[in-house]
Chain A
Amino acid sequence: MKTFSFKSMYVTFLLVFLFIPWNGNYSLYATETQDQQVVVHIDGLSCPFCAFGVEKKLKKLEGLKDIKIKMNEGQALLTFEAGVKIDVEAIKEAVKESGFTAREIVLPQS
């Protein structure tokens, strides 16, 4: 009984240090070391000159590294720093303050 218990503890120890930590590291890698891509579908975006206001407002979002506006798709592609919590309401508000409507926001898959 004591031997079995020792083996069980040993196996558990191995699992903890080899398997579970590995899964944990993988999860952290996805959220804390990789940039996060967000696609914002913007309605009403007709001209590049007006898109300047969208870019200016979205640039103020916390943790934003890069922004690309695709006029023909009516999209803003946002790249956030890894580990930053993405505030969907802040994105919607930024688009609203630029005079347009954020119809859909596609967040990165976790």
Chain B
Amino acid sequence: MFNKWKGWVILSASLFFFGFGNFALAHEPIFGTGPHTIYKDGVGLELKYEREQSQYGYDQALHLHATYGLTADWAVAVEVPQLKKVEENQSSSGTGDVMLQTKWRFYRKDYAEGRQDQVALLAAVKLPTGDTESEPTLGSGSTDTVAGLTLGRESRTLYYFADLRYRMNGENEKMLKKGNVWLYGASFGFRPWLSEYWEPDLVLLLELFGKQQAKATLNMQELENTGGHSTFMGPSFLWSFKNWMVTGGVSVPVLQNLNGEQEKQQYQLALGIEQHL
């Protein structure tokens, strides 16, 4: 019995940002999110590699993310992750939990000097499509929902972003319910040099983000070694040329106040390539 739910607890404790509804488009934080949408009838395809290194193992994921612009201010997306998890002497790999996302930019003000202020609501549903029998497990086995607010100010030279999201985790068939999560983020970015449309463009960001997670429950009983507060910080870059963008970043923990005894995170790495069609 212990082994059956051990994987769930480890998953709850170790997975930090995979599947938290990071619906980032264009010039936005790569560890968090922002209010960007895509032009009407536009299609965005992104392939993103993420790695989370912890004390005794690592998780890595290759996310395929497809976005469609219903309007210029309303986008829908689907994210399909391919996961590989290594924990001590066991590993598993395969498709993780598929996530459906939507973002509605309800406020946008454009300025003559190339500045844009935006605020958006976002929502996501994570479906229990990942394998729950493998060790470590690839899926949570529960249907989870995410709702949040994100805002940003962009200009030709400076970028500011902030987001606050709440994730409600469902209970899986083994009566395990991961704790609900508050996610937050704030980022600052700048463009080192101005570029024209047909020139390569670079934006550098410094991202601060974290989560406050409640304890998980099994059969309605709280699990001591779960939940807590973590904050990460790190630099990231966004390099684009016409309709192609390459992103990357690394972040390290600046605060890990975890409940009980839990494996601590060491760093997170993200690399992505995105194309708008």
- Residues on A lying within 8 angstroms of B by beta carbon are 41-57, 68-72, 74, 96-101, 103
Least CB separation from A72: chain B residue:
B194
**Contact of A48 (CB < 8 Å), options: B110, B112, B240:** B240
Q: At the interface, yes or no: B216 with Cβ under 8 Å from chain A?
A: no
A-facing mask of B227-256, CB < 8 A → 1, else 0?
Answer: 000000000000011110100000000000
Residues of B within 8 A of A96 (CB): 72
Q: What secondary structure prevails in chain B residues at the interface with A? A: loop
Question: In the complex, are the beta carbons of A56 and B196 less than 8 A apart?
Answer: no
Give B72's nearest chain A residue, CB to CB: A99
* Alpha-carbon gap, A63 to B110, bound state (A): 28
Cβ-defined contact, B72 with A49, below 8 A:
no
Indicate if B82 sits at the interface (CB-CB under 8 A): no
Identify which of A43, A47, A68 contacts B110 (C-beta below 8 A).
A43
The answer for the CA separation of A70 and B203 in the assembled complex, in Å, is 18
Q: Chain A: which residue is nearest B238 at the CB level?
A: A49
Stretch with Cβ within 8 A of A (4 or more), from B36-44, B51-59, B174-182: B36-44
Cβ-closest chain A residue relative to B159: A46
A53-B39, A56-B39, A99-B72 as given contacts; A47 in contact with B115, CB under 8 Å: no
7 further A-B contacts with Cβ under 8 Å, apart from A47-B203, A72-B196, are A43-B111, A46-B116, A46-B155, A47-B27, A47-B201, A50-B27, A52-B242
CA distance A50 to B69 in the complex (A): 13
Contact of B276 among A53, A74, A101 (CB under 8 A): A53
Partner of A49, one of B26, B116, B155: B26
A-B contact pairs, 29 of them (CB 8 A): A41-B112, A44-B114, A44-B115, A45-B114, A46-B116, A47-B27, A47-B154, A47-B240, A48-B198, A48-B199, A50-B26, A51-B197, A53-B38, A53-B39, A53-B42, A53-B276, A55-B197, A57-B40, A69-B196, A71-B156, A71-B194, A71-B195, A71-B196, A71-B197, A97-B39, A97-B41, A99-B37, A99-B72, A99-B73
The reply to whether the CB of B88 lies closer than 8 angstroms to some CB of chain A is no
Partner of B114, one of A53, A57, A71, A99: A71
- Closest-CB distance, B244 to chain A (whole angstroms): 8
Residues A49 and B243 in contact, CB atoms below 8 Å apart: yes
Chain B: number of interface residues, binned into ranges:
35 or more
Contacting residues, chain A, for B112 (C-beta < 8 A): 41, 43, 74, 103
Interface string of B100-124 (1 = CB under 8 A from A): 0000000011111111100000000
> Lowest 4 A-B CB distances belong to which pairs?
A44-B110, A53-B39, A43-B110, A44-B116
Query: Which chain B residue shows the least CB distance to A54?
Result: B39
**Are A49 and B154 touching (Cβ within 8 A)?**
no
Which residue of chain A is the closest to B197 with respect to CB atoms?
A: A69
User: Which of B41, B154, B197 lies at the interface centre, i.e. has the most chain A CB atoms within 10 A of its CB?
Assistant: B197
**A48/B72 in contact, CB under 8 A:** no
Measured between alpha carbons, how far is A101 from B37 in the docked complex, in Å? Answer: 15
A49–B243 alpha-carbon span in the complex (Å): 6
- For window 76-109 of B, CB contacts with A under 8 Å fall at 108-109
User: Which of the listed residues A47, A56, A70, A103 has the most CB atoms from chain B within 10 Å of its own CB?
Assistant: A47
Q: How far is the CA of A49 from the CA of B27 in the complex (A)?
A: 8
Residue contact B113 to A74, C-beta cutoff 8 Å: yes
Q: CB-nearest residue of chain B relative to A45?
A: B114
> Which residues does chain B contribute within 8 Å of A41, judged by CB atoms?
112
Min CB gap A45→B, angstroms: 5
A42's nearest neighbour on chain B, judged by CB, is: B110
